[in-house]
Chains A and B, each alone.
Chain A
Amino acid sequence: QVQLVQSGAEVKKPGASVKVSCKASGYTFTSYAMHWVRQAPGQRLEWMGWINPGNGNTKYSQNFQGRVTITRDTSASTAYMELSSLRSEDTAIYYCARRQETDAFDIWGQGTMVTVSS
């Protein structure tokens, strides 16, 4: 079945970087855009950016410009999201989500908890 499986929880110190992976299966990885969305504890969903797995083109939210990098490995059907210069406010669950033709996110990963603490 179509699914996105993310890497496990991470604990990082302020100033460090974190890289979360999202492995796709059950569909052609390069045919659908992959987005990243985060959710701080008790807070709303926040869009971070997306990648076209077919050509590697990316677009990032202004809120994360300069700190986030989204990449992909087509041979592994995996997308990655790296966030640098971590601060406590980056403590959140990070989700990858597949964008369907209608621009809605029809498949979501299970989420990866990233905790930033000294």
Chain B
Amino acid sequence: QSVLTQTPSVSGAPGQRVTISCTGSSSNIGAGYDVHWYQQLPGTAPKLLIYGNSNRPSGVPDRFSGSKSGTSASLAITGLQAEDEADYYCQSYDSSLSGVVFGGGTRLTVL
């Protein structure tokens, strides 16, 4: 059972917009800790997609955006492309566990 809850799967057609949610609690996201998002393509290591809730590292397309409100965070992907098909993970810090926590992951399927 993950401390951060993500919908197991989402799907969308090319060109569409999808959102992936990450729900936490008062000891992690709700406590003010930042949320980061990673993209994991099949058979590869995770890649940082969004840091500090809404910031994109250099090289990440602006089709990807992040937001945070209360005890939840969201990753939005617009203009879906076939190469976006991957697993997406949110990450934060939990004060009760005194450690890093990840969401359970969301598999994005591009129809």
Contact = CB atoms under 8 A, between A and B. Distances in A.
Contact of A102 (B47, B51, B99): B51
Interface residues of A, number: 23
Contact of B36 (A37, A105, A110, A111): A105
Given A105-B48, A111-B45, A44 B100 contact: no
A35 to B, nearest CB: 7
Contacts of B55: 102
Contacts of A104: 34, 36, 48, 51-52, 91
Instruction: State the main secondary structure of chain B at its contact with A.
Output: strand
Contacts, number: 61
In this complex, the member of A59, A62, A104, A105 whose beta carbon has the largest number of chain B beta carbons within 10 angstroms is A104
Interface in B92-111: 93, 97-105
Interface residues of B, number: 24
B83 to A, nearest CB: 19
Interface in A68-118: 95, 97, 100, 102-106, 108-111
Contacts of B45: 95, 108-111
Contacts of A32: none
B66 to A, nearest CB: 11
Contacts of A61: 97, 99-100
Contact of B103 (A37, A44, A100, A109): A44
B46 A44 contact: no
16 contacts: A37-B102, A44-B89, A44-B102, A45-B102, A45-B105, A47-B101, A47-B102, A59-B98, A61-B97, A61-B99, A61-B100, A62-B98, A97-B46, A105-B91, A106-B51, A111-B45
Interface of A: 35, 37, 44-47, 49-50, 59, 61-62, 95, 97, 100, 102-106, 108-111
